[in-house]
Chains A and B, each alone.
Chain A
Amino acid sequence: MKYQELFPVPVEWVQETDEQMAQTVSQWAEAEVKAGRLEHREDYDTLLEPAMRKLMVDLGLGSMLMPDGSGGGGMTTPDAAVTAVVCLELAGYADTGIGFVCANTLALQSSFAIEPNVEAAVLEETAPLFCSDGLNLAGLVLPGYGAGKDHGAFLGMEYQASCKNTSDQELHAGAEVEVTGTSVRPQCCGANGSLFGIVCGLDGAPALAIVPSTAEGLKASEPFLKTGLAPSINADLYLDGAGGTLVFRGEERTLGLLSWYYMACAAVCAGSLLASYEILKEWGDTRVIKGKGQVFKENPLTAALMGEVAGRCGAIRILVFSLARMLARPDLYGPAGSPHIFATATSVFKQASRGAMLGIDNAMELMASAGYATEWNLERYWRDVKTIETYVVPETCASVNMARHYYGLKAL
């Protein structure tokens, strides 16, 4: 039985288009990723880059939210949140890192392509990249801890960069800006991305600027090694007045971007956990322990832990789809950038990433050494999900952000 049937979500939220997309991405997962995984492991050139190209360019996931008229998928209404979750869950199921890269691209597009925040000038600027025949990946740069540089702060976190107006005119979406920041850490693709969506400080308020990787004044460090997420070749960025395009200013739009991003990353984590469930199931069905032919899963102790893994799968899936539904229906739940949706998105992401991590951890404990060996594929999900958990938002910041909303904090 497929996991979609085993761990149901409210089916009335999933439209026919979503099911078609799911089928397409599912076929991609089997043919382009899983079939080559054992042989090619995490080889970027042989497996990961071609698989991303197929998914994001040929199948159109990388331009799904861009308008028809620009050559995109035309999913420009908030409904696209559910479609995005359907696709990203499957992408994460195939490869967490590919899902994460897609999540960055889709979250960035959501900030200027989804109604009611359609920014024509930004679409015009970015469509040649996202809707082309080439693989053009995007990486978000988000506020986080600081290192003594003063770009201002947002939600207690420091911006990694600041931007300024380069003209005499009032700032508007599509305006040219200059972005400055040192040792800026993108969420992904610092070395293999085509553009970066940088949340930066602008006159004391948050703003989002898009900076292409080819911009003058932008340099990337050598790629650095990291725990997981091989499809993202990451590097730190050095921006010295790099030319970019303003997407928006203000807190609500920033929170909206983060809500979409948290939802997208939560979906990827859910997919990774579901893949781990399947690996554990195969293990539990085929291993024998305690001699005398006792099938692994039939032992009460191991069964109890397997039950916990499955329980997490079901609960996280429902949570992530519920968040998608909230973003899909701003008329019912409020805009994506409202404080309560942002708090919910933070909560769902933390539950999904932590829950997926615990579930995969339990699966590894049950499979012992086999879970740790590359051959069984589980350890890759374990490394990848942990990397997402640490990358997206530091634990401390997420907790305070939730407390700020739910308990009405004033000073933090």
Chain B
Amino acid sequence: MRSIDDFTRPLEYLSPLDGYLGEITRAWAEREVMPLRRGFDEDWEDHETIEPAFKSLMGELGFQRFFFPEDMGGFGMGHSDYGGVGGFRVCEEISRADSAMGVAFAVMHWPLLMICKEPHVNRRLCAEFAPMFCQTEEPVFAANAMTEPQGGSDIENLDLLKGSTIQTTATLDGDQWVINGHKLWPTNSGGAAKLFGVVCTTKPGSSDPDDFAFIFCPADLPGVTQGKPYQKAGMAADKNSDIWFDNVRVPVWYRAHGPGLDFLYFKEMVSWGNVLSLAFASGAMLNIFELLKEFCEETTFRGKPLKENDDVAGVLADIARDIEITRIVGYQSARMLDRPDLYGDNWSDEIVAKCRAYKCFACDKAVEISGKALDIMGPRGSDRARDIEKHWRDLKIVQLWLGGKQLAQMEVARWFYECETL
């Protein structure tokens, strides 16, 4: 009998830990998320049913220690050649159950990439924050505070604007940075995150990469205020809100790397964000496949199972095709992050553009096939009890985030077509 494991992955790329990571995460998802996920939409504000599952995965199983060095209690994936494909597998398995949980989980690691990932490990900052994540069985979230009210995702438009539109300022005062600004939409805000990576400028209006700063900021410092979570179409397990920084003071060494390098390595985060978006899409698509297969076997049309009708089978074939391709592309892109010696630095314009392209493709396909699945199911498609409609709602934001589709298109066009004025 066919299953989701029949969809191809490039086996040569898989982490030696792939089986272990995959089995643990899948068992966790089937035990602690899938039976409860239909109630998550009503829990968007309080996370009373969502939080225990995060606690189990991140705290008790320790997956929040993924990138920290081993000598600090971490899994050491920051200096592994398999951080990309390993992370992809974990996020794929989580997202098969709930892509919002996949996003919240991945974004928890996102700012930590800046300091935990070779070749730019900042051991002092790792040592500072490792206890927060590695010496507890409680789930601890981190967040990237990037997007701002005035220009949305302009901040992620690094090639064109080079940080010139950033309004959140970091001012040096003795041995401290003083942060002021207003951020919108960070995943894991709304009271969830204990640590922010804040995108700031040290000189408002400057397009000099040296003035782009990425500064860590614990959420409990005086002057940090988080708003209430936004209500959204889906993605209940991912809290988003406003964050205000009002004369927030942090030690000067909380800046990730310093002039020029913060800008450079921030681009690496864009690459990783895009590749893991493929994992969110791929995981959800796999679950759509298995749910749709079940529906098409138990439902009849013209006197036979739905899947045995040629016209339906044609659509089902397209759905399987798109899942197959998305999964292969996803693992390929994760492999490219793991092997910069072969494919180029994670922060290079080439890798950023290619990861944008893969993410765009995968998310378009994911949104498309989830819609097709609902269409096939007819009046049963929009039942919350069928779960596919949840994937349909959740996947849309994966397509939209990281600057939206148009920004992704521009970055892809800039690199592949050598555009100079976009």
Contacts and interface: CB of A to CB of B under 8 A. Distances in A.
B is bound to A: yes
Given A386-B371, A391-B382, A396 B312 contact: yes
B409 interface: yes
Given A368-B404, A375-B231, A396-B311, A227 B392 contact: yes
A226 B383 contact: yes
A241 B374 CA distance: 32
B178 interface: no
A156 B152 contact: no
B82 to A, nearest CB: 32
B309 A396 contact: yes
Interface in B151-168: 151-154, 157, 160-161, 164-165
B119 interface: no
Contact of B152 (A148, A289, A301, A395): A289
A224 B383 contact: yes
B152 A287 contact: yes
B397 A372 contact: yes
A6 interface: no
Contacts of B2: none
Interface stretch (A130-138, A139-147, A202-210): A139-147
A373 B374 contact: no
B378 interface: yes
B233 A379 contact: yes
Given A373-B232, A375-B231, A227 B393 contact: yes
A289 B151 contact: yes
B406 interface: yes
Contacts of A225: 38, 41, 383-385
A340 B44 CA distance: 48
A361 B185 CA distance: 20
Given A156-B302, A371-B400, A374-B231, A365 B405 contact: yes
Contact of A369 (B154, B157, B378, B401): B401
A157 B315 CA distance: 18
Interface string B282-316: 00000000000000001111110010010110010
Interface in A298-313: 301-302, 305
A165 B392 CA distance: 44
Contacts of A399: 311
Contacts of A147: 298-300
Nearest to A395: B375
Interface in A143-198: 144-148, 153, 156-158, 185, 187
A301 B407 CA distance: 10
Given A368-B401, A383-B233, A390 B382 contact: yes
Interface in A278-296: 287-291
Interface size class on chain B is 35 or more
Nearest to B309: A396
A365 B232 contact: no
B376 A395 contact: yes
Interface string A335-374: 0000000000000000000000100010011101111111
A369 B397 contact: yes
B380 interface: yes
Contacts of A369: 147, 152, 184-185, 240, 397, 400-401
A304 B266 CA distance: 30
Contacts of A372: 232-235, 396-397, 400
Contacts of A390: 374-375, 377-379, 381-382
Interface string B392-422: 1100110111011110011000000000000
Interface of A: 41, 144-148, 153, 156-158, 185, 187, 224-229, 287-291, 301-302, 305, 357, 361, 364-366, 368-375, 379, 382-383, 386-387, 389-391, 393-397, 399-400, 412
Interface of B: 38, 41, 147, 150-154, 157, 160-161, 164-165, 184-185, 230-235, 240, 298-303, 306, 309, 311-312, 315, 367, 371, 374-385, 389, 392-393, 396-397, 399-401, 403-406, 409-410
17 contacts: A144-B379, A147-B298, A153-B302, A158-B300, A185-B380, A225-B41, A289-B152, A361-B367, A368-B153, A372-B233, A379-B232, A389-B375, A390-B377, A394-B377, A394-B378, A397-B301, A397-B378
Given A290-B161, A374-B232, 16 more contacts: A145-B299, A153-B302, A156-B301, A158-B301, A224-B383, A227-B382, A227-B393, A229-B382, A301-B409, A357-B371, A366-B406, A368-B401, A369-B240, A379-B233, A386-B392, A390-B378
